[in-house]
């Protein structure tokens, strides 16, 4: 299995974002006989394609050259990312009905055909063309690759901030121009040009998009996503604790974080299911079950690979079970995901949505950002403690001040008390230490 550095992954993210953007431009030129930049950024990139490709180049090698499984997985990943991108653009730009591709998304059938075509093309590129690109990239010096990755990252961040600024200030500038109080400087001209491009690329922009509702977290917005994550992460941790009590006759901490009782896997899973299943929430139970079956299974598979690549850890292994899929997920658990999708979209989410929107708008905003601040730092601290716990098994002497801080406050005894089922073993297959918690 090929191991990619952070610089490699970022290069591929930008490179394949450009390839995806170029493909849409070519299709638009052929179909509509005009040039339309359908990307959210000004740079010639469509980030959705890049993220999808990076995920797949890490996951495909684990599927034992099973082409059918790879195609299904590629479609699921692309569908989830495309759904998230649509929600993001809608909330940022204040769009009611938009087309986020050059293919008109008039109905679910056309959207499905677009997504299956795009995911099939991405899979073929990864399997056939990517090995040659990766071989060529190996000849590029690491220093040059790191410099290029850093410079590109800065450009993307600056470009992103300029687009956000243009979108958020457009209505204020219109009012100022109407009152003849606006100075037409260079920044204003640039911002207006960005807005015109977005208006051309995403028809359906509301003139009153900046008008805020008095209802807290109306629709599927950032605030509601944070509350969905928080409530689901807490309930997920509680459910697992009760399951361990019933199955193993022992109370066991199932939280993913150092502080608080929150399961990050459950929280993110609830957010992913909400974003991807909301458009089909009114469909039949069978459709919801199948969507949850595949999306949930793919999500669990990606989580397993992510923890292994980032932390050098393995939190679950189903290799010993029947119907296992690479040891990272299992058909039985996919069935559970399908059932959970039905219960979530038909029963739990509608109730949660109503209760969240009852929160006071002012207090809701304050509490939401406090939660974000606390969870981000709790998550960063947990990542640091986990990585140091793994490294401490082979390098007990702290190498810097951060290692020393983690050793003093989160030593082996502290970590094993927090996660009593966590074991450290050595794996010849991956040639590094892994953490097993199941």
- Average pLDDT per run of 10 along the chain, which is 438 residues long? 74 89 82 71 86 89 82 88 79 49 50 84 89 82 81 86 71 50 54 61 49 67 87 85 73 77 86 87 89 89 78 69 78 88 90 87 86 88 84 80 86 77 48 41
Is residue 143 located within the same domain as residue 231? no
Asked whether residue 57 is assigned to any structural domain, the reply reads yes
Structure tokens at 409: 């406050």
Is residue 290 located within the same domain as residue 192? no
> Is residue 423 classed as helix, strand or coil in its secondary structure?
strand
Cβ contact 272:295 at 8 Å: yes
Is residue 158 located within the same domain as residue 231? no
Cβ contact 12:149 at 8 Å: no
What residues does 205 pair with on adjacent strands?
Answer: 95
Is residue 161 located within the same domain as residue 227? no
Is residue 103 located within the same domain as residue 147? yes
Q: What is the pLDDT of residue 206?
A: 44
| CA dist., res. 212 & res. 40, Å (int) | 23
Q: How many residues does the chain have?
A: 438
Structure tokens at 100: 């986020």
Q: Which residues fall within 8 angstroms of residue 35, CB to CB, at 6 or more apart?
A: 25, 28, 29
Q: What is the pLDDT of residue 111?
A: 75
Asked whether residue 217 is assigned to any structural domain, the reply reads no
Q: SS in 3 state form for 89-136?
A: HHHHHCECCCCCCCCCCCCHHHHHHHHHHHHHHHHHHHHHHHHHHHHH
Q: Look at residues 166, 201, 236 and tell me which one is the last residue of a structural domain.
A: 201
- Is the pTM higher than 0.75? The answer reads no
Is residue 276 located within the same domain as residue 425? yes
Q: Which residue has the tokens 């974003």?
A: 275
Q: What is the pLDDT of residue 342?
A: 92
Helix 349-357 / helix 222-248 crossing angle, nearest 10 deg = 130
Structure tokens at 31: 């179909």
How far, in Å, are 51, 82, 91, 94, 209 from residue 219 at the CA level?
Answer: 26, 18, 9, 12, 14
Is residue 372 located within the same domain as residue 409? yes
What residues does 329 pair with on adjacent strands?
Answer: 325
Rg (CA), the chain: 23
Is residue 344 located within the same domain as residue 425? yes
Is residue 254 located within the same domain as residue 363? yes
Is residue 249 located within the same domain as residue 185? no
Asked whether residue 234 is assigned to any structural domain, the reply reads yes
> Is residue 427 classed as helix, strand or coil in its secondary structure?
strand
Is residue 292 located within the same domain as residue 430? yes
Question: For the chain, how many structural domains are there in total?
Answer: 2
Q: What is the pLDDT of residue 195?
A: 56
15: enclosing H helix or E strand: helix 6-32
Q: Look at residues 201, 235, 265 and tell me which one is the last residue of a structural domain.
A: 201
Asked whether residue 59 is assigned to any structural domain, the reply reads yes
Backbone angles phi, psi at 255, to 5 degrees: -75, 150
Asked whether residue 94 is assigned to any structural domain, the reply reads yes
Q: What is the domain extent for residue 116?
A: 6-201
Is residue 231 located within the same domain as residue 178? no
Asked whether residue 215 is assigned to any structural domain, the reply reads no
Helix 142-178 / helix 6-32 crossing angle, nearest 10 deg = 50
Q: Which residues fall within 8 angstroms of residue 391, CB to CB, at 6 or more apart?
A: 403
3-state helix, strand, coil in the chain (%, to 5): 70, 5, 30
Q: What is the pLDDT of residue 433?
A: 42
How far, in Å, are 42, 148, 169, 180, 197 from residue 184 at the CA level?
Answer: 21, 35, 14, 10, 18
Q: What is the pLDDT of residue 198?
A: 58
Q: Look at residues 201, 235, 252 and tell me which one is the last residue of a structural domain.
A: 201
Q: What is the pLDDT of residue 429?
A: 39
Cβ contact 126:56 at 8 Å: yes
Asked whether residue 207 is assigned to any structural domain, the reply reads no
DSSP state, 211? Answer: P
What residues does 325 pair with on adjacent strands?
Answer: 329
């Amino acid at each position: 299995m090929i191991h990619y550095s952070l610089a490699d992954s970022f290069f591929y993210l930008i490179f394949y974002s450009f390839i995806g953007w170029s493909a849409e431009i070519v299709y638009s030129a052929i179909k509509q006989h005009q040039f339309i930049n359908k990307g959210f950024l000004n740079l010639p990139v469509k980030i959705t394609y890049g993220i999808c490709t990076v995920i797949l180049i890490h996951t495909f090698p684990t599927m034992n050259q099973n082409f059918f499984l790879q195609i299904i997985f590629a479609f699921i990943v692309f569908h989830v990312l495309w759904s998230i991108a649509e929600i993001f653009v809608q909330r940022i730009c204040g769009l009611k009905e938009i087309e986020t591709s050059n293919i008109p998304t008039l109905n679910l059938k056309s959207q499905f055909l677009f997504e299956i075509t795009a995911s099939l093309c991405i899979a073929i590129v990864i399997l056939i063309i990517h090995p040659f690109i990766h071989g060529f990239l190996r000849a590029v010096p690491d220093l040059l690759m790191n410099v290029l990755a850093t410079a590109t990252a800065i450009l993307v961040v600056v470009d992103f901030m300029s687009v956000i600024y243009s979108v958020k200030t457009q209505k204020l500038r219109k009012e100022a121009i109407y009152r003849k109080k606006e100075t037409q400087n260079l920044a204003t001209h640039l911002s207006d040009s960005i807005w015109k491009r977005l208006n051309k690329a995403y028809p359906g922009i509301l003139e009153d998009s900046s008008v805020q509702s008095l209802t807290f977290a109306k629709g599927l917005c950032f605030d509601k996503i944070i509350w969905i994550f928080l409530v689901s992460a807490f309930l997920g941790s509680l459910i697992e604790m009760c399951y361990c009590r019933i199955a193993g006759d022992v109370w066991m901490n199932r939280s993913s974080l150092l502080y608080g009782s929150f399961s990050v896997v459950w929280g993110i899973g609830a957010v992913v299911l909400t974003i991807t299943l909301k458009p089909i929430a009114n469909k039949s139970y069978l459709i919801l079950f199948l969507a949850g079956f595949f999306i949930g299974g793919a999500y669990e598979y990606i989580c397993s690979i992510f923890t292994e690549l980032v932390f050098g850890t393995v939190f679950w292994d189903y290799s010993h079970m029947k119907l296992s899929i690479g040891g990272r997920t299992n058909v039985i658990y996919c069935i559970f995901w399908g059932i959970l999708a039905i219960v979530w979209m038909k029963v739990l989410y509608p109730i949660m949505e109503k209760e969240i929107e009852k929160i006071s708008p002012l207090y809701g905003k304050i509490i939401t950002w406090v939660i974000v601040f606390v969870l981000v730092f709790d998550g960063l601290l947990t990542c640091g403690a986990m990585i140091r716990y793994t490294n401490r098994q082979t390098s007990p002497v702290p190498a810097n001040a951060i290692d020393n801080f983690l050793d003093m406050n989160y030593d082996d005894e502290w970590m094993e008390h927090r996660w009593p089922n966590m074991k450290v073993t050595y794996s010849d297959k991956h040639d590094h230490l892994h953490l097993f918690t199941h």
